[in-house]
Amino acid sequence: MLESSVAKKTISPGGNVTGVVELPGDKSISHRYAILAALAEGTSEIRNYSSSADCLSTIECLRKLGVEIDITKEFVKVVGHGLDGLKASKRALDAGNSGSTIRMLSGVLAGQNFTSTITGDKSLQRRPMRRVVEPLRQMGAEIRAKDDRAPLEIRGAKLKAIDYTPPIPSAQVKSAVLLAGLYADGVTTVRESVRTRDHTEITLREMGARIETTKGQIQIHPRPKLQPRQFIVPGDLSGSVFLIAAALVLPESSVMLHNVGLNPTRTKILDFLISIGASINLASVQLRGGELIGDVSIRHAKLTGGTIAGPQVAEMIDELPMLAALGPYTENGIEIHDAKELRVKESDRIATISAGLKSMGAQVEEFPDGMKVAGKSAGKLRGAKIDPEGDHRIAMALTVAALGAQGDTIIRDSECVGVSFPEFFTTLEKLRDAKSQDDPA
Ligand code: S3P
């Protein structure tokens, strides 16, 4: 499913982005549809399933657990055999680069009557897993993990229901506990101070589970018979943000994005961009499968700049690298605080985005929990050689920053965008009138 791409990409600045885009499926929602379809009683079809490497990792893990999954041109077909239909895998499950895969599947594996090992690539093996291991141990699973990192050896058990407040707001942790809650001996509660993305709750409800959400509290009743569904994954808003940002960097741009996921737990980025001057309009907003979708149109506009802190951080966690890279294109710059979490994503995103922007001549001050990127008065960015350190969102954010720079930028290891948005470069090129060229590695 990954497009063939080359390691190095040269980004020539200039031009504008104009046109209409149909986005590939949302990564977060695709993971959940695949996992829950695998636990349903019957066959589900998922249309517009994300083409990302991360979501393929979820499919591969489920296949190793004995789930029959066919990928056709039109949809992904998943044959579920109920909550107890998974089988032990002889080999370790490989989540690749995907934090969502390892953390959410850990919740499912905790409720099985067999032992599994789940691991991932070097980046994933460095990321903290205590946040998910801890509540699952409280529920009764036995988990072995050296220094609380992958590989995780999860011995499933008869689980106890718990009442859990994750110390860090995290949709992945919330989802892991809710998924384990499907196998528990009573009602499992998760409490959150910041409302993180709620696709797990929506999907569970759509499939017939009893799940109650009141302010700051989610309760899941155990052992539902999950009904298979015909799913259509909304377009990926987090991926679309890079195209929106391209329209904000390049004058005379105007882009329309079709059928984008507009779940309110994901759209704080649009609110923020509008608050700093972006011209963004929504149309044809409707509810489909419990998820809001609609068309997003964006026109180039001048940005004032602003600060992101407190609860906003968790609400736009994946968009912060792009916002930082927009800093040099704003009047007053972009400042980010309370975002220590960025240091434990696919890369240390505070360090990688700061280093990339600095090499392009931006004025950046790094803090332990954020950064300050100076606005236009610090001067125009210049082309540079960028190493995104294998992090898809850093590669895309700096590509967009490069569009308005002076001179060409070379993005090393550009194929890492395939982790979330394999079509990124081709989509961007289609929207541009000035072209970027591929360099053989
Ligand atoms: C995700 C949740 C976020 C986000 C990640 C996807 C999800 O992580 O950064 O890209 O699909 O639940 P956390 O929940 O750990 O903040």
Q: Is the CB of 50 within 6 Å of ligand 1?
A: no
Q: What angle do CA 12, 390, 52 make, to 5 degrees?
A: 90
Q: How far apart are CA 232 and CA 49, in angstroms?
A: 8
Spacing, Cα 339 to ligand 1 middle (Å) = 14
Instruction: Indicate if ligand 1 lies below 6 Å from the C-beta of 174.
Output: no
Ligand 1 within 6 A of 170 CB? Answer: yes
Span from the CA of 378 to the centroid of ligand 1 (angstroms) = 33
Is the distance from CB of 399 to CB of 411 less than 8 angstroms? yes
Neighbours of 275 (CB within 10 A): 11
Q: Which numbered atom of ligand 1 lies nearest the CA of 314? A: 16
pLDDT of residue 433: 72
Kindly report the protein residue whose alpha carbon is nearest to atom 10 of ligand 1: 318
Check residue 173 and give its pLDDT: 98
**439 given a catalytic annotation:** no
Quick check: 20 and 231 in contact, CB under 8 A?
A: no
- Which ligand 1 atom is at minimum distance from the Cα of 173? 14
Asked if residue 197 has its Cβ within 6 Å of ligand 1, the reply is yes
pLDDT lower than 70: segments of the chain: 1-6, 434-441
pLDDT digits (tens, 9 = 90+) for 191-243: 999 999 999 999 999 999 999 999 899 999 999 999 999 999 999 999 999 99
- Nearest residue (by CA) to ligand 1, atom 15, is 170
* Residue of 94, 198, 236, 318 marked catalytic: 318
pTM of the model: 0.96
Which ligand 1 atom sits closest to the C-alpha of 174?
14
Choice from 28, 32, 33, 202 to test ligand 1 binding pocket (greatest atom count within 8 A of CB): 28
Q: Which of 305, 315, 304 is nearest to 373 (CA)?
A: 305
Which residues make Cβ contacts (< 8 Å) with residue 190, sequence separation at least 6?
Answer: 164, 165, 166, 174, 177, 178, 181, 217, 218
pLDDT of residue 37: 99
How far apart are the C-alpha atoms of 292 and 261, rounded to whole Å? 6
Q: Does residue 263's CB lie within 6 angstroms of at least one atom of ligand 1?
A: no
234, 221, 259, 199: which is closest to 35 by C-alpha?
A: 199
Query: For residue 441, what pLDDT is reported?
Result: 40
> How long is the chain?
441
Strand partners, 293: 261, 286
The alpha carbon of 441 and the centre of ligand 1 are apart by a number of angstroms equal to 32
The pLDDT assigned to 358 comes to: 98
- What is the number of the ligand 1 atom nearest to the C-alpha of 103? 15
Residue closest by Cα to atom 13 of ligand 1: 170
- Look up residue 25 and give its DSSP letter: B
3-class DSSP state of 59: helix
